[in-house]
Amino acid sequence: MQSTPDPVTVLVIDDEKGIRDGSKRIIERMGYNTLTAESGEAGLDILGRADASVVLLDLKMPGIDGMEVLKRIQAMDRDILVIIITGFATIETAIEAMKRGAYDFIPKPFEPDQLRIVVNRAMDKLSLKRAAEKLENERRRTLADLGTERTRIHTIIDSLPNGIVVTNADGKVVLMNPAFGRLMDLPPDCASGEPVSAYIKEEGLCKLIVDISSGRHVDFDDIPAYEFSLGGERFFMARGRPVLGERKECLGAVVTIVDITNMKVLDRLKSEFVAKVSHELRSPLSTIHEQLALVLNDLMGQLSASDEHLLSRAKEKTQGLISTIGDLLDLSRIESGNICQELKPIQLEELLDNIVDFLGTRARTKNQELVLEHPQAPLPTIKADPLALESVFGNLITNAINYTQNGGKIVVRIDMAGINLRIQVIDNGFGIEERYLDKIFDRFFRVKTDKTRFITGTGLGLPIVKGLVESLKGRISAESTPEKGSTFTVLLPVG
């Protein structure tokens, strides 16, 4: 609740009682407190005790004249507006008083309306002055708050264990914390203000930061992390985000850099363990699978229905284990960087045409419609690993077939999205609840509902797809609505 401002007080100093009393009646009817004084000495005494904002001052009075009273009022160092009351014979004196700081004057004799006009003018001036002072005080308080907030933010950033670097729209560093300097082996007295390449020696990361700073990634929510090494066994991961203004214009970038050396060591040990165990298991499982197949073939018709069912289930389960081992080995190769190394020029539309044609047979067994929507304009050639792309889109389309009901429709759409090729696999199948969308790319995670629990799988297909897409410097995302279908979008950089 806002407080009501105190009423303004007006002091009338005049040796004529009629002027004092008449002015008091008129001004009080205007809603202002009014005090009167019959001499300059009495007026100054009242000003010493009361807080008057406007003074009506007669120049010609016995004792201390009005000019001296004006001088003493100004010496009080208070914002008091003085209106001179004068006769026609002393207009020049009134003008001289205004030159010395008086606000206005009114000649005797004056009508009530004349007094109201000059007093209202003074009140407007007073209101504007108070409003300006209020704004100035708020500005000073805001600046003080900003200064405090800036100090607080600097303290927080400086105390963070991860490296923080902020750039402007030109890619020049405007802020960095001590952790960033330590991670990048910068000298302690290294100052900001230079291009980011003066602080980070990884060319690819510098290019990414400059691209983010200049606004090339404003329209993308999921900017991929960038992993790099500065030599030896030290590994880092950087994540960047654009800094946006009120009109969504890009003002620069903020980048965090984390030392992931220990994580890399653990990942390497884990990958080596998985690879070794998988190799050790795959051979005996393959032998068991072949033996089961042989038994089933040789004893066909001689087994009871229950025995044949058990052997078939065992054969099916061993095949599932072999597939899981294959997927684990694929993940190990992705994590170790042993894929997507032999890049070739690829016409993606032709590759997708072959995949859709190959998987069309499976879709037709479920009376599904599987179509590839060709773009109107020719698409540029990209450089990528064809086997990786076949694995990515083969997995996505197969998933769409598996998780779409009989008679459903799957659309594969390809077009350009800025500087990227955009490939979407769209189905009208069972869909995924929103709470699961951020988990479907996790290993071994599978969404199980009444409609999907009988669909076999390892829960490694989408993690493999995500790893392959990121190895190709691309991005993948998913949107879905239960009972309406899902859309998986892959963005691949051109060139």
Annotation: CATH topology of 9-135: Rossmann fold (3.40.50)
- The Cα–Cα gap between 237 and 257 comes to 6
Confidence of residue 1 (pLDDT cuts 50, 70, 90): very low
pLDDT at 146: 57
Same fold, 160-259 and 263-336: no
pLDDT at 311: 80
> Domain residue spans in the chain?
9-135, 160-259, 263-336, 344-493
pLDDT at 89: 46
Half-sphere exposure of 415 (CA within 13 A, CB side): 8
Q: 229 has which bridge partners? A: 235
User: In CATH, which of 1.10.287, 1.10.10, 1.10.1740, 1.10.12 is domain 263-336?
Assistant: 1.10.287
Residues contacting residue 32 through CB under 8 Å, at least 6 positions apart: 7, 8, 9, 10, 54, 119, 123
pLDDT tens for residues 34-92? 999 999 899 899 988 888 889 998 888 888 888 888 888 888 867 788 998 887 546 67
Tokens representing 257 are 């850099």
Lowest mean pLDDT among 137-141, 227-231, 461-465: 137-141
Q: By C-alpha distance, which of 374, 283, 385, 309 is closest to 343?
A: 385
Angle at the Cα of 319 from the Cα atoms of 317 and 325, rounded to 5 degrees: 105
DSSP code of residue 270:
H
490 and 467 Cβ atoms separated by less than 8 Å: no
- The Cα–Cα gap between 206 and 198 comes to 9
Tokens representing 383 are 């450089």
This prediction's pTM:
0.46
pLDDT at 406: 92
Residues contacting residue 371 through CB under 8 Å, at least 6 positions apart: 356, 409, 410, 411, 412
- Name the residue with higher pLDDT: 325 or 462: 462
Q: By C-alpha distance, which of 347, 461, 495, 348 is closest to 413?
A: 348
Lowest mean pLDDT among 120-124, 157-161, 223-227, 259-263: 157-161
Q: By C-alpha distance, which of 383, 389, 384, 399 is closest to 353?
A: 389
- Looking at the domain that runs over 344-493, which CATH code has it been given? 3.30.565.10
- Give the mean model confidence (pLDDT) for residues 225-242: 87
DSSP code of residue 103:
-
Q: Cα-Cα-Cα-Cα dihedral of 145, 149, 152, 156, to 10°?
A: 170
Instruction: State how beta strands 409-417 and 369-373 pair.
Output: parallel
For the chain, give the percent of residues with pLDDT over 70: 87
- The Cα–Cα gap between 318 and 285 comes to 6
Instruction: State how beta strands 163-168 and 81-87 pair.
Output: unpaired
Print burial letters for 94-117: b (CB count within 10 Å at least 16), e (below 16). beebbeeebbbbbeeebeeeebee
pLDDT at 247: 80
- The Cα–Cα gap between 293 and 287 comes to 10
pLDDT, the chain, mean? 83
Confidence of residue 356 (pLDDT cuts 50, 70, 90): very high
- The Cα–Cα gap between 354 and 275 comes to 32
For the chain, give the percent of residues with pLDDT over 90: 20
Local structure of 338: helix, strand or coil: coil
212 and 240 Cβ atoms separated by less than 8 Å: yes
- The Cα–Cα gap between 195 and 14 comes to 73
Tokens representing 288 are 């068991």
Q: Does domain 160-259 have CATH number 3.30.450.20?
A: yes
Q: Say yes or no to pLDDT of 195 above 80.
A: yes
